């Protein structure tokens, strides 16, 4: 659907980090250029853990039904990310193991 609606994609990506909540938190804590936030409404690069922020009140079963696991993180890349990073990194080239 995204390819039909957009020419180049967007700046928001969601991905699963191995290790559940603990793995997601270790990943977020290791970031140097991105701030941890409870929402993604800013021009700065932010990352959030939906299971403990935006969707914490709906419970594990409802989150699972929506595809929001304990290892899911959402990354919003803002205006502060150097252009060179985007030219050298693609989602397919990024690998992370939280173990």
The DSSP-derived string for the chain is -HHHH-SS--SEEEEE-TTHHHHHHHHHHH-SS-EE-S---SSS-EEE-GGGTTTGGGHHHHHHHHT--TTEEEEE--TTS-HHHHHH--GGG------
Indicate the average pLDDT of the chain: 80
- Stretches where the chain sits below pLDDT 70 are 1-3, 5-6, 8-9, 81-99
* pTM for the full predicted model: 0.73
Largest CA distance in the chain: 40
Q: Give the DSSP per-residue string, 63-81.
A: HHHHT--TTEEEEE--TTS
Write down the pLDDT at residue 82.
Answer: 65
Write down the pLDDT at residue 21.
Answer: 96
Distance of CA 56 to the CA centre of its chain: 16
Write down the pLDDT at residue 17.
Answer: 93
pLDDT digits (tens, 9 = 90+) for 49-72: 999 999 999 999 999 999 999 999
């Amino acid at each position: 659907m995204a390819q039909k609606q957009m020419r180049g994609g967007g700046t928001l990506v969601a991905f699963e980090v191995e290790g559940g909540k603990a793995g997601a938190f270790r990943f977020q804590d290791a970031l140097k250029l991105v701030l941890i936030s409870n929402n993604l409404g800013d021009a700065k690069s932010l990352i959030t853990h939906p299971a403990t922020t935006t969707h914490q009140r709906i419970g594990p079963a409802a989150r699972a039904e929506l595809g929001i696991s304990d290892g899911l993180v959402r990354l919003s890349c803002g205006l502060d990310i150097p252009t060179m990073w985007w030219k050298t990194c693609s989602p397919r080239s990024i690998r992370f193991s939280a173990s």
